[in-house]
Amino acid sequence: MKFKNQTANPRKSGSALIMTMITSAVALSVLAATLAWQSSNTRLTHRAIQYDRSVTAAEAATEKAIGKISNDFLAGGELLVTNNLASYRAQSVPTTTDSAYWNNWAFDDGAGNTNQVYVLQSGVSSATSLDPIYAGLQAFITTCTVVSHASDLASIQRVNPGVFQQVQLANIPIFQFAMYSSGDMEISCGQAFDITGRVHCNGTLYVEPDSSMTFESSVTAVVSNIFARSPLDSRGAPVGSVVYEHPELKLSPVAALQLPIGTNNTPEAVREIIEPPPTGESASSTLGNMRYYNQCDLVIKVNNGSVTVTSGNYNNFSTVLPPAQAQLFVSTAASFYDARETKTVLPVDIDIGQLASWSQTNSNIRPSLLGSNVSSVYVIDNRTLGSSYLGAVRVLNGKILPPNGLTVATARPMYVWGDFNQTNNANLGTTNTLTTRPASLAADAITVLSDAWVDGNSASSLGSRVAAPTTVNAAFLSGSVETADGTYGGGMENFPRFMETWGATPFTYNGSMIKMFPSQYATNSWGHANVYQPPVRRWAFDLSFNDPTKLPPKTPRLMKVIRSEWASVAPGVNTPPTP
């Protein structure tokens, strides 16, 4: 047998070694890459988590600032916000006082300032339409921009993202509502009743018609909107019907719309806006800024046996009218009987036509008003009267108002005698307000006396007080006597009071009815005999009030905070990201 001698091929052995080494290298590379990927992924995951935590922390700082801004705005308007900008910036960073969680967090405003929040307040914009809840409402907007950045000091991978937020601070002229109530509202009409404008109440809206009722616009209530009598009303259930022409705008609950008079916005507190200020109150304080007394062009003060007429707070009441000029349009000589209050009224009569004529020519008040006409009057009645008398203000001869319109305000009851605010007789008795001027009346209660009213017949039977067709074009802001102890308060259909037999005679009203507080002087309840027979109510919301340039002088404004923008921003940035 022969054996063949075989020897190893060195080339093949070398190739195998090389392949083994390559395979090992690839495996090691894959392993290294896998480990690196896992490490990188862990770092990225940790960084993403940390980024989200930091965004949340930054948002907490912006929310703290926005909370302060919102509270101040609702209590005191944009003036209070402006005064407190420095405190928002310095005192909105979350601290361990808020929670021990914030012990390891650092904040900055994106502009290099640590322990601060960026807050910027813009100027007031022109009138802007609001969101669908209040569709068509015009508001004057101030925008506040708030930015904060946050870093976790305990994190290995520290990041510093920020949050950008904007809120709109809306000032809503109150006379854009056909009907508004600072508390509950009741509407219970025995004749067909058509409400042509927006309705809002900061409580419960009791819709309780005894005929047909139609709401042509939005209806909002802070608590609820129900088809029922008030629990304090002992009358039976309503027997009429109600139609909401825009059911999608029948909304409750919604946020309250309030005046910026402080944290207490009850109807009783709101009454202060028609009262003169107490001694020592600053006119620039939160409440002082809202008082008609501090805003009006002309102030009429009536004391026992004297009448003084001065300029307003704008020049420290320093211009005093000569008595002969004051007597041209102010008188305290008349009296008449109010059957509802069962008192003799001693009115401070203001002849509006004479006031308008005097205002255009006088050399006393015009210079302090920079040559303009008087457009607002406040009346203080300081007379000491017996319990059978009622001090009040009465506006008469009011068809032609001063060129810039007119607001008359008082803490006392007010009576409107005859047609008011219509320069074109052809438009009397219609909803045409194209030839009217901006007007409002603010008082404890408002009673309409027709063109046929005679003071001498006021104490006679109801049959002796027969009304004539009358038109009033003005916003009414006043008090009311609420339903209580089973007695109906009269509702919004009786918000303007009457003292005559109207029957088939129409009372035409174009304006805005604002029920703000309980009456303090005209306090007898609605529903007594021998007081009045209701008119045919030709009532409409004055569409002119939807135009901010046609609002009555010194129109109060409601406050609403609107959230607008939110975005995350890169470190060192306090502006929104570019879309």
Q: Parse the chain into domains and list their residue ranges.
A: 16-175+560-569, 295-538
At 42 the pLDDT is 47
Beta bridge partners of 118: 147
What pLDDT was estimated at residue 52? 87
> Rounded CA gap, 542 and 565, in Å?
34
| CB 482 within 8 Å of CB 489 | yes
Pairing type for strands 138-152 and 127-129 reads antiparallel
**Angstrom distance (rounded) from CA 453 to CA 468:** 8
* Spatial separation of the C-alpha atoms in residues 299 and 289, rounded to whole Å: 16
Helix, strand, or coil (residue 157)? coil
What is the Cα–Cα distance from 95 to 555, expressed in whole angstroms? 42
d(CA 171, CA 283) in angstroms, rounded, equals 20
Please give the angle made by the CA atoms of 271, 139 and 563, to the nearest 5 degrees. Answer: 100
CA–CA dist 86, 94 (Å, integer):
16
pLDDT (0 to 100) of residue 512:
98
Torsion sign, CA atoms 91, 95, 98, 102: positive
Q: What is the C-alpha separation between 562 and 74, in angstroms, rounded?
A: 12
Q: Which three-class secondary structure state does DSSP give residue 195?
A: strand
| CA 282 remoteness from chain centre | 22
The two tokens of residue 278 are 């107490």
Phi/psi-derived region of residue 477, left when phi > 0, alpha when psi is between -120 and 50, beta in every other case: beta
> For residue 504, which amino acid is it?
A
Handedness of CA 225, 226, 231, 233 (dihedral sign): positive
Whether 465 contacts 505, CB under 8 Å: no
Q: Looking at the chain, how many residues does it have?
A: 579
Instruction: Output Rg (C-alpha) for the chain, integer angstroms.
Output: 35
Two tokens at 160?
């510093």
Mean pLDDT per segment of 10 residues, for the chain of length 579 residues? Answer: 51 64 65 54 62 91 95 91 95 93 92 93 78 80 93 83 92 96 95 95 96 95 96 92 94 93 91 96 93 98 96 95 96 98 98 96 91 96 97 98 97 98 96 97 98 97 97 98 94 97 97 98 95 96 94 95 89 74
SS3 383: coil
Please spell the DSSP secondary structure of 25-45, one letter per residue: HHHHHHHHHHHHHHHHHHHHH
Output the pLDDT for position 432: 96
Residue type, 277: P
Three-state DSSP class for residue 49 = helix
350: its two tokens: 């203001």
pLDDT recorded at residue 354 = 97
The beta strand positions in 385-453, using DSSP E, are 389-398, 406-410, 414-420, 439-443, 446-449
What letter would DSSP give residue 473? E
Q: 519-558: buried (b, 16+ CB within 10 Å) or exposed (e) per residue?
A: bbbbebebeeeebbbebebbbbbbebbbeeebbbbbbbbb
Residues 150-188 as b/e (b if ≥16 CB within 10 A, e otherwise) read bbbeebeeebbbbbbbbbbbbbbbbbbbbbbbbbbbbbb
How confident is the model at residue 3, as a pLDDT? 47
- Integer Cα distance of 476 and 460 in angstroms: 28
Angstrom CA distances, 330 to 307, 308, 323, stand at: 8, 10, 10
Q: One-letter amino acid identity for 301? A: K
In sequence order, what are the residues at sequence separation of 6 or more whose Cβ sits closer than 8 angstroms to the Cβ of residue 433? 427, 473, 510, 542, 543, 544
d(CA 419, CA 234): 36
pLDDT for the residue 571: 86
Q: Do 232 and 483 form a contact (C-beta atoms < 8 A)?
A: yes
Interior angle at CA 7, CA 5 and CA 10, nearest 5 = 170
Q: Which two tokens stand for residue 204?
A: 């419960």
pLDDT of residue 155: 79
Cα distances (Å, whole numbers) of residue 204 to 74, 230, 445: 21, 9, 22
